[in-house]
Amino acid sequence: MIDLSGKSAVVTGGSRGIGRAIATRLATQGADVAFSYTGGAAKFGGSRAHGGDEPRPTAAKDTVSAIEALGRRALAVQADVADPESADALIKAALEAFGKVDILVNNAGITRDDLIMRMSLDDWRSVLETNLFGAFYCIKAVTRPMLKAKGGRIINITSVSGQAGQTGQANYSSAKAGLIGLTKATARELASRNITCNAVAPGFVLTELTKDLPENLQAQLTERTPLGRFGTAEEIADAVAFLVSDEAAFITGQVLAVDGGLVMM
């Protein structure tokens, strides 16, 4: 059984969807969890990355409650990881709350889909800055404390779009492909200090965003997936929980596809 007792984790974009499933799964296995979220600013748990004093969003509040119901400590930090100062503040908040960061899961991401000829430069830039630059900023912020601790686990959530490309997603596919390169470079650079870095590449997953897709499109996507169904956020979280565990101590620099066989490489 995966045991993360005594560990502390940071999950970016952890208030909903795959990020929330990861945060609660890590807590289920015994870890204390800090997570970032965007939207209305909030201040609770003793810290925030930036923003004012509006009430914390329901999704973040619900995730905190879910983690605490499992008997673990939870910290929600309003942060836009595309901003290096916010990314740094997120890691510092977790260090202040828990004393260490054993696990970093870079999950935060956005989409701004369009064909290349119509894609605005702002939409190109914003997706790269959040999905790729944000992961780099968080890794950079956590590297020094992990080096001092002589150990750590870093997981980057990439996508089948980064492995195979996707029409209308030049920005998203580029960012997710970049995450694979970042994963491998990080793994090589930090391996000597017992820090592993791996990536998880989800396929089509049922989330709040995909459940409202037209039925004909859902049928097309299901048909393209050899296992004949969408995945679940919990199945992505299962893969992450394994890769951050002691059972995966000899695995680094790898991309684990959790996609029902959609992309076979």
Active site residues: 172
Task: Using alpha carbons, list the distances in angstroms from residue 257 to 114, 175, 198, 224.
Answer: 25, 17, 11, 15
251 in Cβ contact with 194 (< 8 Å): no
Kindly report the CA angle at 203 between 201 and 207, in degrees rounded to 5? 110
Whole-number Å distance between alpha carbons of 206 and 228: 13
Kindly report the CA angle at 101 between 256 and 145, in degrees rounded to 5? 105
Instruction: Decide: residue 165, CB within 10 A, 0-12 exposed, 13-18 middle, 19+ buried.
Output: middle
